[in-house]
């Protein structure tokens, strides 16, 4: 296992990486579905916090594999077996999402997460043994990840519920610091265009949840004569929101920018907000469907905020990580104002339609004010 060529042409996701992504569809879907159930039951704060906690485990495990695979994709039998082991860990994690979000019981989520992370330790040790130029960095990754995994498990069995909750955030900081420290020993040979392609793949996964929520609204409309118009409107709004978010995200190729700045921490870490917000949009659509059909105690305005806040957060995060380097200060100001307007759309009647209209307006603004489109 040796470092890949960072200048390799046409480097995109491999079939194994795409298969790896499929199991994350299950985990993301579980997180989004449980967020929908909790907020519709009136537990908005609990649902939001537990969703963000669970989503960290999903995102961080996916991201660490992605950057490793960009630098050391050998694709022999050992690499494939260890990758499949990580996929098994994802499924264990997905099985524990409900307990984690409903009762803050992170036992199964933790064990699924640790399975994934220890498989990554094996990958890093193999890289250390095979590639002398990357050995010091790989060993720092392996040792750092191992220490944190021991602490994750110890936290489950040595601490009470309150301290488990507090130490969760401490260990999150420890996790995100491992790559920062390890990369200072020597940079891994990640491929900028490959990373951009991989992040685009995961963006499609989380946006797919909104498309699924739109389909659910259509299913609910069958036999709901009194609510068919409202549900059809929500289905259209959900689809257009997903399409608008897709349009904004893929407006520019990020591979060239990553190659120019030659560093990826800001890009990689900021995507937590991009991905988590996009995944949460489906819960907002689901909550709006529940309000329309009378299956929730939430008020229409609260349910609307459940939809508009993640859309607004997605736009702001997207501006920070993707749009800002390419647009003028005027366009940046408009993007920020429009993101605020999207959130504020929850205060008006037909909030989903209003938020959709504002998002479409933003897509038009970004495209029309893009210097590449000026003649």
SS3 content of the chain, % helix, strand, coil (to 5): 85, 0, 15
Interval 229-240 mean pLDDT: 85
CA 39, chain centre distance (Å): 19
The residue with tokens 């409202």 is 230
Dihedral of CA 244/58/92/126: which sign?
Answer: positive
Predicted pLDDT of residue 194: 92
Interval 150-167 mean pLDDT: 94
Nearest alpha-carbon partner for 282 in 43, 8, 37: 37
Q: Which has more confidence, 91 or 6? A: 91
User: Alpha helices, DSSP H only, in 159-227?
Assistant: 161-183, 192-221
pLDDT tens-digit readout, 268-318: 999 999 999 999 999 998 898 888 888 888 888 899 999 999 999 999 999
% of the chain at pLDDT higher than 90:
62
C-alpha dist (Å) from residue 1 to 29, 61, 73, 76: 34, 21, 8, 9
Cα(353)–Cα(285) distance, rounded to whole angstroms?
11
**Residue 52: strand, helix, or coil:** helix
CB 249 within 8 A of CB 203: yes
Tokens describing residue 306: 């459940």
The residue with tokens 């579905």 is 33
Tokens describing residue 318: 């997207």
Tokens describing residue 253: 């190729």
The two counts, helices (H) then strands (E), for the chain are 14, 0
Interval 160-185 mean pLDDT: 94
CA diameter of the chain: 69
Predicted pLDDT of residue 140: 97
Instruction: Compute, in degrees rounded to 10, the torsion defined by CA atoms 329, 272, 314, 367.
Output: 50
Predicted pLDDT of residue 159: 93
pLDDT-wise least confident of 5-9, 42-46, 49-53, 333-337: 5-9
Cα(207)–Cα(245) distance, rounded to whole angstroms?
8
Task: Indicate the burial class of 210 (C-beta count within 10 angstroms; 0-12, 13-18, 19 or more).
Answer: buried
Q: Which has more confidence, 333 or 139? A: 139
Tokens describing residue 79: 């690499």
pLDDT tens-digit readout, 30-68: 999 999 999 999 999 999 999 999 999 999 999 999 999
């Amino acid at each position: 296992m040796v470092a890949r060529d960072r200048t390799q042409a046409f480097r995109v996701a491999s079939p194994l990486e795409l298969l790896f992504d499929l199991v994350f569809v299950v985990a993301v879907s579980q997180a989004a579905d449980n967020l929908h159930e909790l907020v519709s039951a009136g537990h908005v704060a609990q649902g939001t916090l537990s969703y963000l906690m669970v989503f960290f485990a999903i995102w961080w495990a996916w991201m660490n594999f992605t950057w490793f695979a960009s630098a050391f994709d050998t694709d022999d039998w050992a690499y494939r077996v260890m990758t499949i082991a990580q996929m098994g860990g994802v499924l264990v994690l997905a099985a524990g999402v409900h307990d984690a979000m409903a009762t803050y019981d992170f036992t199964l989520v933790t064990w699924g997460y640790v399975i994934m992370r220890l498989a990554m330790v094996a990958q890093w040790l193999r890289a250390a043994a095979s590639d002398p130029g990357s050995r010091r960095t790989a060993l720092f990754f392996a040792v750092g990840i191992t220490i944190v995994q021991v602490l994750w498990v110890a936290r489950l069995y040595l601490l009470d519920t309150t301290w488990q909750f507090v130490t969760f955030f401490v260990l999150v900081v420890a996790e995100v610091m491992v790559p920062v420290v390890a990369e200072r020993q020597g940079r891994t040979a990640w491929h900028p265009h490959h990373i951009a392609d991989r992040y685009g793949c995961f963006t499609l996964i989380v946006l797919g949840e909104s498309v699924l929520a739109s389909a659910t609204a259509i299913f609910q409309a069958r036999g709901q004569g009194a609510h068919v118009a409202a549900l059809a409107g929500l289905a259209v709004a959900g689809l257009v929101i997903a399409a608008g978010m897709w349009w904004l995200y893929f407006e520019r190729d990020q591979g060239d920018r990553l190659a120019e700045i030659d560093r990826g921490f800001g890009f990689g870490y900021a995507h937590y907000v991009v991905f988590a917000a996009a995944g949460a949009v489906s819960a907002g659509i689901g909550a709006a469907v529940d309000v329309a059909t009378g299956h929730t105690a939430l008020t229409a305005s609260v349910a609307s905020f459940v939809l508009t806040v993640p859309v607004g957060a997605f736009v702001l995060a997207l501006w920070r990580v993707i749009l800002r380097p390419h647009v003028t200060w005027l366009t940046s100001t408009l993007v920020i104002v429009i993101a605020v307007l999207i959130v504020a759309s929850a205060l008006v009647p037909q909030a989903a339609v209003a938020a959709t209209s504002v998002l479409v307006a933003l897509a038009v603004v970004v495209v029309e004010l893009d210097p590449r489109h000026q003649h």
